[in-house]
Each structure stands twice: as structure tokens, then as C-alpha cells.
Amino acid sequence: MKCIGLLGGMSWESTVSYYQALNRGVRAKLGGLHSARVLLNSVDFAEIERLQHAGDWPATARLLAAEARKLQDGGADFLLIGTNTMHKVAPEIEAAIDIPLLHIADATARRLQADGIKRVGLLGTRFTMEQDFYKGRLQAHFGLEVLVPVEAERERVHRIIYDELCLGEVRNASRAEYLAIIAGLAAAGAEAVILGCTEIALLVGEAQAAVPLYDTTAIHAEAAVTLALISD
């Protein structure tokens, strides 16, 4: 079994979900007392968040690249970045290491393609919804049409992520807001919605929504389990 390097802590609330999903996935595949081989490097999210909102992406790239190298040096066979937003600096991180990077958007897009989804809504931080590093990848590499909420809704989605979900706060009023926004994306023609922030699945589940929801944390972890169990 390969060792999964997990660059986490962004936020640690979703990193907990990653750790559970990786171990449950391996147990489901192998049975018994099997668990995942995981090397976790959990960073201080306060520093990352400050740099994000200052727009200092080069500094975040340098910081996370250094932490990724520690995972490689510690014996990880491949890398997961346990956050959608920080895939903005995935190219810089990938250039700094010699082990493969399993990209969260690629894993999600392949699942969408397998399910025949062509037009998809995207929820996440403002960075993920508004910048091109994520939705542009879905469009250019996988031919998906990507819809995002209107500006006021994007702001509410972003605020709830940072002010509530990253702090472990799950509020019914915020769930209702998210479900209304998801319904709006469905009304605009989205066949499904990507939960493109690793904390969003803490708030909403597919049974509550008007369209299928694609939980990027779960999809990323499942792809990692598959890769970890492939024999060389």
C-alpha cells in the first residue's frame, strides 16, 4: 500500500473528514483491521488565510511547497492538498516535489464525466468561484460548463465558509441559505453542484438538495484510496 501524503489544516475541520474518509475507504476495500497509510502535515490556517485575503499567493505557494517537500522527505508516495482553494498554487507545489500530485478538480471532473454531467454549478470560496484556476481547469481540460452564483450569493457562501464552517459552526440558517443558492443554480440549468470547498459537506448533504451534490472531499479521498492500493 502506498503512503498518502496529506497537506492539511486548511481548515482542520475538513482535514478530519479526509482522515476518516481515507481510512474508511481502505477498510472498505481490504476489510478487517486495515487502515490507510497517511502522512499528515497540518499547517496553521490563520497564516494561510491572512495571505489569501491579502492576495499574496506567491507567499502561500512558497509556504505550502516547503511543507509538501516535508511530506515527500517523510516517505509519502503521492500528495493530496486537502483544500480546493489552495489548488490555486498547485502548479508551484507540483514543481517543488518529485512525487505525483492528485488534483482535487481532476478527480471531481472525472466523476462528473463518468456520470454524464455536462453543466455543473460550483460553490466554494470567492477565490474558487471567481478565479480561473479551478473552473477554468474544469472547462479547458474536461469540457464542463460551470455556473456560479451571482455576486451577492458568492459573498454569502464565502462568508459562511470562513466565519462558520472553518470554525466548526454548523447553523440551520446557513444551511437554508446554501440550499436556496443550490436551487437557484439548478433553476439556471445546473445538472449537479460541486461542493468546491472541503468544509461545505459539513453543512449540506445530497438528500437535502434539488440536484446531485458532488462532495470534493469524499471524491478526492476515494481517488487517493484507489491510487494507494494500485500495485506498482
From 55, 36, 53, 20, select the one nearest 228 (Cα to Cα). 36
C-alpha cell at 42: 497540518
Which residue's C-alpha cell is 460541486? 194
Q: Which of the following is catalytic: 83, 108, 128, 216? A: 83
3-state secondary structure of 80: strand
Which residue among the candidates 197, 198, 216, 217 is catalytic per the annotation?
197
Nearest to 162 by CA among 85, 55, 102: 85
The number of C-alpha atoms within 13 Å of 141 and in the hemisphere containing its C-beta is 15
Distance CA 177, CA 72 (A): 40
Q: What are phi and psi of 74, to 5 degrees?
A: -80, -5
**Residue closest to 87 by CA, chosen among 135, 16, 120, 154:** 135
Is 15 a catalytic site residue?
A: no
Does 166 participate in catalysis according to the annotation?
no
Catalytic residues: 83, 197
